[in-house]
Amino acid sequence: MYYKPDGSLDTKWVDSEALAVARKLALKDPDDKPDLTGSQLRKFYADMKNLERIWKNQQCDETVFRSLLPQVKILKAKTIYAQKRKAVPHRFTVWLNKHVDAVSTPKDFEAFLLHFEAVVGFCYGEGLKD
């Protein structure tokens, strides 16, 4: 999903797509309460970055990635739990779960991390508050 036919990362994922997502996530939506806060966004991003750190500390080993993949996938359950506790809006759960579903290889993982990083940056540019 993240790549062009030649195998290179499609830059829209760190540019226009990330900006579009950030605009949607940072939006104050009375029909989708609660609003997303910067602290909640950073919490989920930090979870992903911690997994990346573990993987990179093991020289990006494929076996290590396979052992970390269940921890990537459990983010879906964590977002649903956070949504039910009214800590994150439904639109955040839908977005994150779609991308967690797209991660099955180390290359997907790296691409999603770049996309997520861009979304975080753009969210603050769109006025996301802590």
pLDDT in tens, 28-62: 888 999 999 999 999 999 999 999 999 999 999 99
Per the prediction, the chain carries an average pLDDT of 96
The structure's pTM equals 0.94
Cβ neighbours around 8 below 10 Å, total = 9
Residue 23 has pLDDT above 90, yes or no: yes
pLDDT in tens, 99-119: 999 999 999 999 999 999 999
Would you mind telling me the total number of residues written for the chain in this entry?
130
d(CA 75, CA 68): 12
pLDDT in tens, 59-108: 999 999 999 999 999 999 999 999 999 999 999 999 999 999 999 999 99
DSSP at 36 = P
